Structures are given as structure tokens and as C-alpha cells.
Amino acid sequence: MAMAALRREGRRFATPLLSSPVRSSVISHSQEELPNGVRSISTQIVRNRMKSVKNIQKITKAMKMVAASKLRAVQTRTENSRGLWQPFTALLGDAPSVDVKKSVIVTISSDKGLCGGINSTSVKISRILHKLSSGPEKETKYVILGEKAKAQLIRDSKQDISLSITELQKNPLNYTQVSVLADDILKNVEFDALKIVFNNVPKLLLQWTFAPTCYAIMERESEAGGKLGELDSYEIEGAETKGEVLQNLAEFQFSCILFNGVLENACSEQGARMSAMDSSSRNAGDMLDRLTLTYNRTRQASITTELIEIISGASALEG
Amino acid sequence: MASAGGAAPFWRAAGMTYITYTNICANLVRNCLKEPFKAEAMSREKVHFSLSKWVDGKPEKPTIRSEGSEH
């Protein structure tokens, strides 16, 4: 842009040697909207862009700090909540590929955006699961937690959505909330198997460069077909039968897994937001560097122009 | 708990799931705490989310489950 301006000025330089030299450098750094023939190289545009890019950089840096602090808060809770479902898996086993008639896919996503690609990966996995478990006489439905997955799944799977839940993170996440949610799902949706899809948190969370991430699928089979296995080695008190105990345990297991899933998803969301904001601050910084260079070149070009005019005017005076 | 073997416990007969049952019990336990701890525990009880059922690809009006404490 600066080179073109210089060339333009070079051409004009040829003519004013003969014309009136008095019309000299009033130009300086400003205004667009000038009539043709008036020389001006405007740095205003570049300066405006630099200001807005700098503001964006400040905002993204602030968002990164906020996400980092939220991440720290959720992370300890997430790690603690893993202990809730691990004994279940050890005891009752996990059945990742069970063939049932009615399966329900619970997709956990975030409500807010600007968090990188985690919601898209969750939705992608959910769609794959849906395809895997569809077939004649088989029915698959979605239960969606979070705005972002809802927006994506509405586009092509409207008929298959059975429940959608939003505003989950208005209060800090706690078990009570998730268990009420689990209860609602259990009461409202018929299913033979439940699959929960969420973003898992990789172990290397300690570094700043968080790379989101993988996903995890947990499945929970309805109590009727559950594995009894090791439960036999435990003594059961009270007059409840093993079937009842299993049913209770299965419901509790679902609630625990959902709780862990929601927490892990929140953790990955903050981490992904941190890394997205970090890379966008860096991009803004790069853009700012390039704009500064352009600005300086433009400024120097306009100074050169002024000098040329003055000199040419002076030399025209001397004759 | 000395009901006849095989009979459902009273809460399941009343239509509650195990989760609901444990939540009510937890709520009762939290209410037994003394003051400074009670406020912290109550903050762990807040429930808020907005649920909407979908019928035939159309969402119905969302119901907001916002409760200070469970049930």
C-alpha cells in the first residue's frame, strides 16, 4: 500500500514543478473523502484497526485468565468425582457395545461458545453412535445437555431428540443438581441402554498448552440385564433381593457417571477456552505487529511526500 | 426394612427412584448441621436447569426446574 502511494506521488511530482508551488504541505495525516488531486496518505485507517485489534487482544487475554481460574476450581472436583464411578465399573462391569432395541445417547456440551472444537467433537461422536446403533426395529434418541449441542443437532436430527436441557451451569455444579437431572431423564425417557458422551480431560492438564481432547463414552445397561458377577460375594442386609439392590445401584451408577461427565466436560470446556483465547491473543499480537509495520511505512511515505513537495516547491521558486 | 422378601421398599412403591430417595435423605442430613456449616452445605443443594421435552421434532415450552432444595 505504501509502495503504491509512493508511485502515485512520483507521478504527481512530475507536474507540480510547473504549477503553483504554494499549495504545499497542508496535507499531513488525516481525512479520507478528499477531492481528486489532493495528495494525502491516510494513516487513520491503520490506526483505527490497530486500536481495535489491541482491544480484542486485551479481551481475549482477560478471558484466558478467567478460564484458567475457573479451570483450577473445577479440576479438583473432577478428579475427586472420578472415584464415584470407578468402583461401579470394577463391580458391575462396563458394557460398551451392547445390542439393544432402544438406546438413548446423552450428549453433554457447553452452553457458552468460544471454547474451541470440543462441542463439535461431542456431536460428531454422538452422530456416529447414533448410526452404529440404528437399524431395523432399533430406536435411538438424544438427550442433549447444553446449548451448543442442541444447535448442532437440531439441524439434522430433529426427530430424534427427546429431551434438551440448558442453563445447567447457572449455579456451581453440584451432585444434587445432576441427580435431579438424572432422575428426570430416567422418568421421562424409555431406554434399554444409555450412552453418555462427553469430553474427557487428558492427564497433562498441568501445562498451559492444553490440547483438547478426547471423548469418553460410558454405557449403562438397564438393570434387568446387568451383570451380577461379583455381587454374589457380598452379603446383602435387609430383606431386599439382589434384583432390587441392582436396580438401586444401577440408578445410582447412572447418576454418578452423569455427574462425572458433567464435571469433566466443564473442565475440558474451560481448558479449551483457555487455549483458544491464548491462540487468539497470539494471533492478535501478530496482526498488531504487521499493522505497526504498515503504519510506519505509511507514515514515512507521507513524510517523504511532504519533503518532496517542499523541495520541489523551493526549487521551482528558484527557477 | 423387615418387609416380606421381594416386596419393594416403600419409596419405590410410591414411585420414587433410588436417586430421589437418596436426595431426600441427604437433604435431611444437611438440615441437621449447625450454622456455619449449614450455609455451605445448603449451597451444595441448589438446583437450576431448564428442561424441555421434544415431541415430533418440536420442543415444548421449557420448564425451569429451579429449586432451593430438592423437593
What's the Cα-to-Cα distance from A262 to each of A20, B19, B28, rounded to whole Å?
A: 76, 17, 25
**What integer best gives the mean pLDDT of chain A?**
75
Residues A199-256 pLDDT 10s = 876 654 433 333 333 344 444 444 433 444 555 666 666 656 666 777 777 788 888 8
Quick one: cell of A9? 506521488
Quick one: cell of A311? 523541495
Residue A280: its pLDDT value, please? 94
* Residue A88 banded pLDDT, cuts 50, 70, 90: confident
A9: nearest Cα among A234, A314, A317, A303: A303
Secondary element (H or E) of residue B54: strand B47-55
A163 near B CB under 8 A: yes
Residue A216: its pLDDT value, please? 42
Residues B10-55 pLDDT 10s = 877 787 888 888 888 988 988 888 888 888 888 877 788 788 887 7
How many whole angstroms separate alpha carbon A194 and alpha carbon A48?
54
Q: Check B19 against A179: CB less than 8 A apart.
A: yes
Q: Check A183 against B20: CB less than 8 A apart.
A: yes
A170 near B CB under 8 A: yes
Residue B5: its pLDDT value, please? 43
Q: Tell me which of A40-54, A77-91, A183-197, A227-241 is least confident.
A: A227-241
Residue-wise burial string across A113-128, b where 16 or more C-beta atoms lie within 10 A, e elsewhere: eebbebbebbbebbbe
Mean pLDDT of A28-36: 46
Q: Tell me which of A52-66, A144-158, A233-247, B43-57 is least confident.
A: A233-247
* Residue A3 banded pLDDT, cuts 50, 70, 90: low
Percentage with pLDDT > 90 across chain A: 20
Residue A133: its pLDDT value, please? 74
Mean pLDDT of A291-310: 93
For an interface test with A, the pick among B19, B43, B58 (most A C-beta atoms closer than 10 Å) comes out as B19
A178: nearest Cα among A99, A243, A106, A241: A106
Contacts of B4 in chain A (CB under 8 A): 239
- pLDDT over 80 (residue A30): no
- pLDDT over 60 (residue A11): no
Q: Check B51 against A164: CB less than 8 A apart.
A: yes
* Residue B71 banded pLDDT, cuts 50, 70, 90: very low
Residue A232: its pLDDT value, please? 60
Return the ∠ at Cα A217 (arms to A88 and A267), rounded to 5°. Answer: 90
Residue A207: its pLDDT value, please? 35
- pLDDT over 80 (residue B9): no
- pLDDT over 90 (residue A300): yes
Asked if A240 and B1 touch (Cβ cutoff 8 Å), the reply is yes
Residue B46: its pLDDT value, please? 79
Higher pLDDT, A26 or A179: A179
Q: Check B8 against A244: CB less than 8 A apart.
A: yes
Quick one: cell of A158? 430433529
Residues A95-135 pLDDT 10s = 555 566 777 888 888 888 888 888 888 888 888 888 877 77
Give, as one character, the DSSP assignment of residue A138.
Answer: B
Provide the residue ranges of all domains of chain B, joining segments of one domain with +. Answer: 10-67
Residue of B nearest to A159 (CA): B57
A222 near B CB under 8 A: no
How far does the CA of residue B36 sit from the closest CA of chain A (Å)?
19
Q: What is the pTM of this model?
A: 0.74
Q: Check A176 against B4: CB less than 8 A apart.
A: no
Residue with cell 428426570: A184
Beta strand residue intervals within chain A, DSSP E: 102-108, 139-145, 161-166, 193-199, 215-221
Tell me what ipTM this predicted complex has. 0.78
Angle of the A175-188 helix axis to the A242-318 helix axis, nearest 10:
110
Q: Give start and end residues of each alpha helix (H) in A133-196.
A: 147-157, 175-188
Q: Check A167 against B44: CB less than 8 A apart.
A: no
A161 near B CB under 8 A: yes
- pLDDT over 50 (residue A148): yes
Residue B45: its pLDDT value, please? 79
Give, as one character, the DSSP assignment of residue A140.
Answer: E
Quick one: cell of A20? 503553483
Residues A257-267 pLDDT 10s = 888 888 888 88
Q: Check B23 against A158: CB less than 8 A apart.
A: no
For chain B, the residues whose C-beta falls within 8 A of a C-beta of chain A are 1-9, 12, 17-20, 22-23, 26, 43-54, 56-59, 62, 64-65, 67, 70
- pLDDT over 70 (residue A165): yes
Please give the interface size between A and B, counted as residue pairs whose CB atoms are below 8 Å apart. 101
What's the Cα-to-Cα distance from A4 to each of A9, A13, A296, A302, rounded to whole Å?
A: 9, 14, 15, 12
Higher pLDDT, A13 or A224: A13
Higher pLDDT, B6 or B13: B13
The correct answer on CATH 1.10.1620 for the domain covering B10-67 is: yes
